[in-house]
Amino acid sequence: MDYISALVPPVVMAVAFTALIVTIVKSQGGANKAKEDAAVDAAIAHAEAEQQARSSAS
């Protein structure tokens, strides 16, 4: 029975890691990619607008 208790934690971690990788791969591309790209583009545009406003105010 000691070998079972020794093998359980690595098996659980392997399953959790596999689930994490599958989730990451599934979330790449598609509609999620478009939403993420739009959010990044909006943040960059906002930062550039603030930088231009600061440089023109100086």
Length of the chain: 58
> Global pTM?
0.49
How far apart CA 57 and CA 42 sit, in angstroms, is 22
What local confidence, expressed as pLDDT, does residue 26 receive?
84
Return phi, psi of residue 49, to 5°: -65, -40
What local confidence, expressed as pLDDT, does residue 37 receive?
86
Per-residue confidence band for 58, with pLDDT thresholds at 50, 70 and 90: low
Q: Which residue has the tokens 């392997």?
A: 14
Amino acid at 43: A
Segment 7-54, tens digit of pLDDT: 999 999 999 999 999 998 887 777 777 888 889 999 999 999 999 888
